[in-house]
Amino acid sequence: MLGRRAGFTRVVTLATVAALSVVACGSDEDTIDAFAAGGWPVAHGDARNSSTTDLSGLADASLDWTRPLGGAVIAPLSIASTGQMFVGAYTESGCNLFSFEIDSGRKRWCNRIGPSVATATPLVDSVANIYVADDGGFSSYNDHGQLRWRTPTYGVPRSAQFLGDGSVLAVTQFGQMNVLDTQTGQTVVPIHDLVALPDFLASPDTDFLPPDTGLEDCATGSPECAVPATPAVDLDASEILLVLWRPGAIAPQLVSLHYDASATPAITETWSSDLLPAAVTSSPVLSSDGDTVYLADVDGRLSAFDTSNGSVKWTFGAGFGNGGTPSVSSDGYIVPVGGDTGMRAVRDDGDSASVAWTRDDLQQLGTPVQTTDNTLVTVTGRGDELYLTSLDSGTGETISDRALPGAAGFTIGTSIGPDGQVVTASYLGEIFTYAP
């Protein structure tokens, strides 16, 4: 009983701190418009997780500046519409949450918070406030790095998303769904637990799990991480799509939930797919018309699901990537992430899929972004050298190659700035910024 009582005391203490933060920093009573054109506000670019951009001319960007962070980076950078950049890193001392100016590389600010901040991409709103997870909490900082509020959570939220009404959705690796007011951090709907909390009455010796439990398992898609990746959100239909590993199940499922923002707000499950054929580390990706959701599993298999009922439209091959979140263009070109068999694009043909092109001579070492001028931008490797490579997204032909000087290993994410800048970070912790 002592452990449970200590856990309860900790939650109460954190809640008090959060309330005090709201009183101290929440002087602006106006509602914040969460959405802004330009920038790269979330891990995969938008609420659909599409990894696409409306900008063009990215093939002409050249190296502008680089900067080491002093620790590993495992989540993509985010970029505000103002050009302010945000990233977390696994550093042994000093700061682990950073903000930089995209034009100069100058550090705006940095903070030291819980180490799990490095596991998720900071979500950015229209005025460059960020919303970020750490160990057992979800916090908001303003553009100067000052804490606006902190709300306790059970677990560590994965990269967050905005909902259609401007609220912020934070789902932890334990399956706890929190919908919060961006101005105060207060809950908009009651907390929705996709996985039941410990039953202290039935098992008095049970305790809350440490907040970072299972985080490492998110990278492999194992059941210890119930929700491994960023949800996708259909802003118009108020539908939330995520991968969920239910307790005792032999495989995860794709789950759709409806967010009701009416007078009595609530979250309800709409449907769940059949058990998936393999573990998943990918975020779901919504098509531009909202009718299809795509998912990659750890065997490199791509699947398309009907968003109305969760039925499978098609499943295509294996070995088409390493299970990361694919880039999905508005015209149905799907580019998987990584893999050992070169690069390729898959075309959605409605009730089936086909290979649009392959490049077996390229080793993909980054995440692809597709643009409106039919360009695909990603990081590739040849020998020990890394390049920012632009390809024709329809044919796979190379348009340009630009070196990542001194880079080694692989990169984490490809993010796009408001003026067509291309930004990536190596796993070893160095930022590379290319400007048109």
Q: Which two tokens stand for residue 189?
A: 């709907």
Select from 125, 77, 83 the least CA-distant residue to 108. 83
> Hey, what amino acid is at 280?
V
> Hey, what amino acid is at 311?
S
For residue 199, how far is the Cα from the chain centroid? Answer: 31
Cβ 311 vs Cβ 274: under 8 Å: no
**H or E element: which one contains 435?**
strand 430-435
Number of H helices, E strands in the chain: 1, 33
Between CA 166 and CA 183 the distance in angstroms is 10
Cβ 235 vs Cβ 47: under 8 Å: yes
User: What is 2-27+34-201+211-435's CATH number, 1.20.1280.260, 3.50.50.60, 2.130.10.10, 3.30.390.30?
Assistant: 2.130.10.10
**H or E element: which one contains 3?**
helix 2-25
Give the per-residue pLDDT at 30: 53
pLDDT tens over the chain, length 436 residues: 334 333 433 333 333 334 334 434 443 445 567 988 899 999 999 999 999 999 999 999 999 999 999 999 999 999 999 999 999 999 999 999 999 999 999 999 999 999 999 999 999 999 999 999 999 999 999 999 999 999 999 999 999 999 999 999 999 999 999 999 999 999 999 999 999 987 777 777 778 899 999 999 999 999 999 999 999 999 999 999 999 999 999 999 999 999 998 878 899 999 999 999 999 999 999 999 999 999 999 999 999 999 999 999 999 987 778 789 999 999 889 999 987 778 999 999 999 999 999 999 999 999 999 999 999 999 999 888 999 999 999 999 999 999 999 999 999 999 999 999 999 999 999 999 999 9
Task: Show me where the domains of the chain are located.
Answer: 2-27+34-201+211-435
Give the per-residue pLDDT at 294: 98
Between CA 172 and CA 231 the distance in angstroms is 11
Cβ 185 vs Cβ 149: under 8 Å: yes
Between CA 334 and CA 313 the distance in angstroms is 15
pTM of the model: 0.91
Max Cα-Cα span within the chain:
64
For residue 131, give every residue at least 6 positions away whose Cβ sits within 8 Å of its Cβ, in sequence order, or none.
122, 123, 124, 125, 138, 139, 140, 160, 168, 170, 182
Cβ 333 vs Cβ 370: under 8 Å: yes
The residue ranges of DSSP E strands in 44-156, in sequence order, are 62-68, 78-79, 84-88, 97-101, 107-111, 123-124, 130-134, 137-141, 147-152
